[in-house]
Chain A
Amino acid sequence: MSGDKRKWRLLALFSCVALATGCGVDSGCEGGGIDGLIPGVDGGGPGESPKAQSLKAYKDDINADEAWHLLRRAAFGGTPERVQEVVNLGLTQAVEDLIATKPEPAAVTTLADTYESNMPKRWLVHMVEGPNPLHERMAMFWHDRFATSRRVVSGADDALAVLHWQMLRANALGNYKEFLEALTLDPLMLVWLDGGNSPKDNPNENYAREFWELFTLGRDVLYTEDDIKEGARAFTGTLLIRDNGEPRRPVFDIFKHDETPKSIFPGRAAPENYNYETVIDLTLAQPEAAQYVARNLFKCFVHDHPTDATVQALADMFVESGFEIEPLVRTLLQSEAFFSEDARNNQIASPVEHWVGFARTLDMHMSSEDSQGFLLDRLVNDLRDAGQELMNPPGVEGWAEDDAWLEDQWVLNRVDALGRFMDFGPNRTAGLPYHLLPDVSQWDQRDVREQMVNAIADVFHLTLSEDEVAIYVEVLDQNGYLAFHLEDPERQPQHVREMIRLMAMDERVAGR
């Protein structure tokens, strides 16, 4: 170090180790449980099912329904073949299989990269086509927790949204402490919550406040307004610099950092010269921090009423592991609580989860033929109108939860989204999931229509009553069966399309 004391550390753009290889990103748990909405009916407490709080490992030989539950919660859903595969693997191996990072096929990466910094599109490709749905799901979970918008940047800085997303993906199942450090120095975050513009003589409190309120402790937990003022001083020194024409990059400049002692959580720690790293350490040393992660992850994957004891057991595990996220997720997905009645079909999927689950379950695919974006343009708009645009959350608190997804207009826009694949599939009119249906040449036969309905119902694991089947058949047959023939190939798939997306709106499919 030269004698001029100028020792500033340049921080490389995080290890945005291009996840070209594969982990995905995705939404958190915007969908959430709404147990307890109707008091006295399968809410928590005395009325809850046995094992609803048990973190012990569930039996290994799960059945198809349980495999479907696992896939819906952890992987957006899955084809009948995938469900069978999970049954064959057994629970332990199936969860390991979900956690393992698999290389992403080059075709998927290439297709996703076509969309460059248009993150909603790029991300949706990875979610639908990528081999690591749990990683996508976890990245989405963190995106909802650390909600950050690409709308605050433009031009060369559009790339910051990509970096942010890669940061989420890289850390989604990794070490939480490293995650928080990467988050604090993430350039998009530094813009979004003003961390990159917080002079030490007049610090901006935005990041310090949300760091505790939304990211690590929860509203009104432990921190005070004084802590926020002191914390804002600790977070100074993080800057964004721009080299001509490049996206901005983060640095930590000790000369821009307030080097005086700060008194944070005064009842628990003596004043120190905290910086962004040591204030993260201090935060993680508080039991409330591990509890916050434990509670949120439990609520995301299991149900909305973990007891304090359940949360504490998970939090202890988290602390003992040195804040590793992966073991926590493994425990939850294999737990008796995860398979308890309280955890079944009690969540409402967010629009993105609903649509991705629809596509993955029906085995429908993006195509390079859509590189002009016929599908994705409309899809992104539909999902936005349904209440969820990835990388553009409605605010720092992330998306709606629970039954807040049930705004009438949002629900109706989901229906539009569900139809898009069938409008803009790889080959337009071939956008229906023909592989699941009886051969087209039989579609004019009267009794084949029930088969068509039941084939789609099977894929969604729906047991339909006779009355339900009859209603779906009416949709297929709205002109009378004689009209249901092959002379008008343009019209015919419309009937089938309507039947399929109507079934995908079934509460057992829109939920999980």
Chain B
Amino acid sequence: MNGCKEWLRLNRRAFLKSGGAAVGAMAIGDALFARVASTFAQSAGGTGNLLVLCELAGGFDSLSFLVPHNNSAYLSKRPQLAMPASELTLIPGNTDYGINNQFSYIASEYLAGNVAVVQQVAYPDGNGSHFESQEIFKFGVRDLSSPAATSASWYERLRKTYFDEPFGVLDTQTIGNPTQYGYPDNTYRKAAQEAFGRLAALKTGGSNAEKAVRETYMRINQLGADLRARTEGFTSTGDARGEFYRAAQLASADLGTQIIKLRYGGFDTHASQANANATLFPRIDTEFQQFMADMDALGMRDRTTVVFYSEFGRRNGENGSPGTDHGYGGHMIVVGNGVSGGLKGQAVSTADLNEGSLPYYVDFRAVFASCIRDWLGFNPDPVFKIEGETFDENLGSALFS
């Protein structure tokens, strides 16, 4: 059986590295290829599971997600923004906290035991810049001055270390609509699009720069052909067409993808935060629910974990606008059937709320490292312990059951 897997793996690679003819054959949707794709991950040593990274860009207000509704410090610091228990799904056995019902789906999943909320997560020496803090989360390092550490995101490093093949990590933002991905060509029969890949595959030699350009073209060409062919038949369970829909399209292609990255913006709620959240939160919750239903329909739900994270939390106290400014610690939300549900990390205390911002008790890399180790089945050290970087790996309790 091992030998068989090895054979499949090599053939898959041969497929991916070969020219347009092989791509054309794959486009027909051969069963062999699908089988190869779904077994590839295991043969590379991982579990073959899928990790979905959902970035909530702008600074997600964790106190509007898991609300300490009774806490006097919370109530006094947020006279206009504080939420009452009636708008929350209270945490069983810990009713001082409740999940905002604007996340009704996530709340129901929490009650079903499929949601871990890792509380008060960040990294040492907080950085209030969106840009830099987002980069810290992206590169998975605290020190952004290292060119080596910041040449690729941590999930790209993961891919290159363990499953170095083109579909291992897909980002919905860079791919856009996968059914139209590839060389832009508006002419009849897409002759130029097809020629683009053939021309690149035809040539050998030249300078390193020229080779690098051609390799990029071939990669684009194959990625495009495969994505177009393998996502056009996707049917969603719902009508939403946001980033989670794109993620479901990509997952449906069954191309051995282990990480899908997506991003929702709009969380930088300096003003009129309640109104902003009332639109944003239900939208994401609904689109996420649709995604999980899609994964169910694809038979992939048990293999899927979704992590929500943000570059920082927001201030404990509201400003006069009324909104909240950039803070520090925040919660990460991990959802999936394989997740060991419950409140993790450090519960938000009155002392924490008396600070300007939530402090941090858990390093965000500890969460991602657990996902890599316990969900994807790889050793996270080569991904995060680079260029002299270290971090506290303590999570308090296990994220996965």
Q: Which A positions have Cβ atoms within 8 angstroms of B?
A: 33-38, 41-43, 219, 344-348, 395, 403, 406-409, 411-412, 415-416, 419, 465, 467-468, 471-472, 474-475, 478-479, 491, 494-495, 498-499, 501-502, 505-508, 510-511
Q: Does B208 contact A (CB under 8 A)?
A: yes
Q: Does B187 contact A (CB under 8 A)?
A: yes
A471-B198, A478-B187 known; A38+B192 contact, CB < 8 A:
no
Q: Does B174 contact A (CB under 8 A)?
A: yes
Assess the A479–B188 pair: CB atoms within 8 A.
Answer: yes
Assess the A475–B191 pair: CB atoms within 8 A.
Answer: yes
Give the contacting residue for B209; candidates A348, A407, A408, A506; CB below 8 A.
A348
State how many angstroms separate the Cβ of B73 from the closest Cβ of chain A: 32
Please, which residue of chain A has its CB at the minimum distance from the CB of B191?
A: A478
Assess the B196–A502 pair: CB atoms within 8 A.
Answer: yes
State how many angstroms separate the Cβ of B219 from the closest Cβ of chain A: 7
Assess the A468–B199 pair: CB atoms within 8 A.
Answer: yes
Assess the B182–A412 pair: CB atoms within 8 A.
Answer: yes
Q: Does B202 contact A (CB under 8 A)?
A: yes
Q: Does B184 contact A (CB under 8 A)?
A: yes
Assess the A37–B213 pair: CB atoms within 8 A.
Answer: no
State how many angstroms separate the Cβ of B33 from the closest Cβ of chain A: 21
Q: Does B189 contact A (CB under 8 A)?
A: yes
Assess the B184–A34 pair: CB atoms within 8 A.
Answer: no
- Bound together, the chains give a CA A403 to CA B183 distance in angstroms of 19
25 A–B pairs (Cβ distance < 8 Å), ordered by A: A35-B208, A37-B208, A37-B212, A43-B208, A345-B206, A345-B207, A348-B212, A395-B131, A403-B212, A407-B174, A408-B220, A409-B175, A411-B217, A419-B184, A468-B203, A475-B187, A478-B191, A491-B188, A494-B187, A498-B191, A502-B199, A505-B196, A507-B206, A507-B211, A508-B206
Interface hits, B211-229 → A, CB 8 Å = 211-214, 216-217, 219-220, 223
Please, which residue of chain B has its CB at the minimum distance from the CB of A418?
A: B184
A407-B174, A408-B219 known; A467+B189 contact, CB < 8 A:
no
Q: Does B185 contact A (CB under 8 A)?
A: yes
Residues in chain B near residue A494, CB distance under 8 A:
186-187
Residues in chain B near residue A479, CB distance under 8 A:
188-189
Residues in chain B near residue A498, CB distance under 8 A:
185, 187, 191-192
State how many angstroms separate the Cβ of B203 from the closest Cβ of chain A: 8
Q: Does B210 contact A (CB under 8 A)?
A: yes
Q: How many residues of B contact A (CB 8 A)?
A: 36
Interface hits, B273-319 → A, CB 8 Å = none
Assess the B212–A475 pair: CB atoms within 8 A.
Answer: no
Residues in chain B near residue A37, CB distance under 8 A:
208, 212
Q: Does B195 contact A (CB under 8 A)?
A: yes
**Secondary structure at chain B's binding surface: helix, strand, loop or mixed?**
helix
Assess the A347–B184 pair: CB atoms within 8 A.
Answer: no
- Bound together, the chains give a CA A35 to CA B188 distance in angstroms of 39
Residues in chain A near residue B210, CB distance under 8 A:
345, 507-508, 511
Residues in chain B near residue A33, CB distance under 8 A:
209
A34-B208, A408-B216 known; A468+B202 contact, CB < 8 A:
yes
Residues in chain B near residue A507, CB distance under 8 A:
200, 203, 206, 209-211, 213-214, 217
Please, which residue of chain A has its CB at the minimum distance from the CB of B171?
A: A409
Residues in chain B near residue A511, CB distance under 8 A:
207, 209-210, 213
Please, which residue of chain B has its CB at the minimum distance from the CB of A213?
A: B145
Smallest CB-CB A-B distances: 7 pairs? A507-B213, A478-B191, A498-B192, A507-B210, A406-B216, A345-B207, A409-B174
Residues in chain A near residue B219, CB distance under 8 A:
408
- Bound together, the chains give a CA A34 to CA B186 distance in angstroms of 33
- Bound together, the chains give a CA A406 to CA B214 distance in angstroms of 10
- Bound together, the chains give a CA A203 to CA B208 distance in angstroms of 46
Give the contacting residue for B188; candidates A395, A465, A478; CB below 8 A.
A478
B167-186 to A contact mask, C-beta < 8 Å, 1/0: 00000001110000011111
Assess the A475–B192 pair: CB atoms within 8 A.
Answer: yes
- Bound together, the chains give a CA A313 to CA B188 distance in angstroms of 57
- Bound together, the chains give a CA A505 to CA B200 distance in angstroms of 10
Assess the B199–A411 pair: CB atoms within 8 A.
Answer: no
A345-B206, A471-B195, A475-B192 known; A408+B223 contact, CB < 8 A:
yes
A475-B191, A499-B192 known; A415+B209 contact, CB < 8 A:
no
Please, which residue of chain B has its CB at the minimum distance from the CB of A413?
A: B184
Residues in chain B near residue A475, CB distance under 8 A:
187, 191-192, 195
Assess the A38–B208 pair: CB atoms within 8 A.
Answer: yes
Please, which residue of chain A has its CB at the minimum distance from the CB of B216?
A: A406
Give the contacting residue for B202; candidates A38, A467, A478; CB below 8 A.
A467
Please, which residue of chain B has its CB at the minimum distance from the CB of A39?
A: B208
- Bound together, the chains give a CA A506 to CA B182 distance in angstroms of 16
A403-B212, A468-B199 known; A412+B184 contact, CB < 8 A:
yes
State how many angstroms separate the Cβ of B168 from the closest Cβ of chain A: 14
Assess the B187–A495 pair: CB atoms within 8 A.
Answer: yes
Please, which residue of chain B has its CB at the minimum distance from the CB of A33?
A: B209
A408-B216, A409-B174, A475-B191 known; A415+B206 contact, CB < 8 A:
no
A501-B192, A511-B207 are known; give 20 further A-B pairs, CB within 8 A: A34-B209, A35-B209, A37-B208, A43-B208, A219-B145, A348-B209, A403-B209, A412-B182, A412-B183, A468-B199, A471-B195, A475-B195, A478-B188, A498-B185, A502-B196, A505-B196, A506-B199, A508-B210, A511-B210, A511-B213
- Bound together, the chains give a CA A42 to CA B206 distance in angstroms of 10
Residues in chain B near residue A42, CB distance under 8 A:
207-208
- Bound together, the chains give a CA A118 to CA B182 distance in angstroms of 31
Residues in chain A near residue B131, CB distance under 8 A:
395
Assess the B212–A474 pair: CB atoms within 8 A.
Answer: no
- Bound together, the chains give a CA A173 to CA B131 distance in angstroms of 34
Which of B200, B209, B212, B214 has the most chain A CB within a 10 Å cutoff?
A: B209
Assess the B174–A478 pair: CB atoms within 8 A.
Answer: no
State how many angstroms separate the Cβ of B347 from the closest Cβ of chain A: 38
Residues in chain B near residue A412, CB distance under 8 A:
182-184, 220
- Bound together, the chains give a CA A484 to CA B196 distance in angstroms of 21
- Bound together, the chains give a CA A276 to CA B197 distance in angstroms of 54
Please, which residue of chain A has its CB at the minimum distance from the CB of B215?
A: A406
State how many angstroms separate the Cβ of A512 from the closest Cβ of chain B: 9
State how many angstroms separate the Cβ of B142 from the closest Cβ of chain A: 18
- Bound together, the chains give a CA A33 to CA B131 distance in angstroms of 28
Residues in chain A near residue B174, CB distance under 8 A:
407-409
Please, which residue of chain A has its CB at the minimum distance from the CB of B190?
A: A478
Residues in chain A near residue B223, CB distance under 8 A:
408
Residues in chain B near residue A495, CB distance under 8 A:
187
- Bound together, the chains give a CA A427 to CA B192 distance in angstroms of 24
- Bound together, the chains give a CA A510 to CA B183 distance in angstroms of 15
Residues in chain B near residue A406, CB distance under 8 A:
212-213, 216
- Bound together, the chains give a CA A344 to CA B203 distance in angstroms of 18
Please, which residue of chain A has its CB at the minimum distance from the CB of B214?
A: A507
- Bound together, the chains give a CA A395 to CA B132 distance in angstroms of 11
Give the contacting residue for A347; candidates B145, B176, B203, B209; CB below 8 A.
B209
Assess the A478–B189 pair: CB atoms within 8 A.
Answer: yes
Assess the B184–A510 pair: CB atoms within 8 A.
Answer: no
A42-B208, A415-B184 known; A510+B195 contact, CB < 8 A:
no
Please, which residue of chain A has its CB at the minimum distance from the CB of B175?
A: A409
Assess the A411–B202 pair: CB atoms within 8 A.
Answer: no
Residues in chain A near residue B208, CB distance under 8 A:
34-38, 41-43, 346
Residues in chain A near residue B184, CB distance under 8 A:
412, 415-416, 419
Residues in chain A near residue B213, CB distance under 8 A:
348, 406, 507, 510-511
- Bound together, the chains give a CA A474 to CA B191 distance in angstroms of 7
- Bound together, the chains give a CA A403 to CA B210 distance in angstroms of 10
